[in-house]
Amino acid sequence: MKRLFTFLFLLVSVACRSQSDTVIVLHAAYERHSIIATASAGIADGFRNNYSLPPGFEKNNTSGFAPFFAKLEYGFYDRISIAATFGYDAFYYNYKQEYTGNNGPFTRYRTDDTRIFSGGITAFYHLGNVIRIKHLDPFIGVGLVLSNIRYSSFPQDDTTATKFDHIVTPYLKAGARYYISSYFSLFGDIGYDKQATLSLGVSCRFLRKQKAISTK
């Protein structure tokens, strides 16, 4: 997972650098008709923290990597953009099950290998006309996320089984990008989508439509 995030980070960085032959005067952080690609990692994973167990099972530790998110956003109107969002989450939820047999009580230790693929659609309203800070693109977002979940050993009654689940959750977040160049920015958002309360990453802007002065 770390290798995947590192690869995507380098891919976004190289794409941004490849467009640096043109100098463009930046009048506003948000630009209509631009396309923005974002890669980020999540913090405070709702799927891990809210994992529930039936009676007879006890929680143990959880291991794995931070959830990864990718987003492709298009500024189709003044201050309004839409985005397709994608996410991947993988973790091992360890727990134990208490039994009472002929020779008395005993414990079985189990691990649920959980994999979550998600996709959604979100609309963002950019607040640059209200929060006027140079190079900052603040925004709020509203949308829906569909998560496809696979549990390898989900506890059910007094046993475990492979389980598949599909849930739809709302996306309600606020965040900002801070542009350190005309194309490259740092990204962060906070709010609710069940996958992560907070995410941090990087963004790269493509297909800007402003007039440019070539440096060649």
Q: Find out whether 5 and 39 touch, Cβ atoms under 8 Å.
A: yes
Alpha carbon 59 to its chain centroid, in Å, reads 26
State the Cα angle at 144 between 16 and 2, rounded to 5°. Answer: 45
Q: What is the DSSP string of 101-118?
A: ETTEEEEEEEEEEEEEEE
Pairing of strands 35-43, 198-206: antiparallel
Average pLDDT over residues 184-191: 97
Q: Is the pLDDT reported for residue 11 higher than 70? A: no
- Check whether 17 has a pLDDT greater than 90: no
Residue-level pLDDT at 19: 47
- At 202, which CATH number? 2.40.160.20
Neighbours of 132 (CB within 10 A): 10
pLDDT of residue 26: 44
- pLDDT at 204 > cutoff 70: yes
Helix (H/G/I), strand (E/B), else coil: 2: helix
Which range marks the domain in which residue 24 is found? Answer: 2-214
Q: At residue 106, does pLDDT exceed 80?
A: no
Amino acid identity of residue 111, one-letter, is T
Q: Residue 195 in 3-state DSSP?
A: coil
The radius of gyration computed from the CA coordinates of the chain, to the nearest angstrom, equals 22
What is the model's pLDDT at position 4?
A: 44
Question: How far is the C-alpha of 204 from the C-alpha of 182, rounded, in Å?
Answer: 9
Least confident among 22-31, 145-154, 187-196: 22-31
Q: Distance (Å, rounded) from C-alpha 138 to C-alpha 178?
A: 9
- Mean pLDDT rounded to a whole number for the chain: 83
pLDDT at 28: 63
* Domains contained in the chain, number: 1
d(CA 51, CA 43): 16
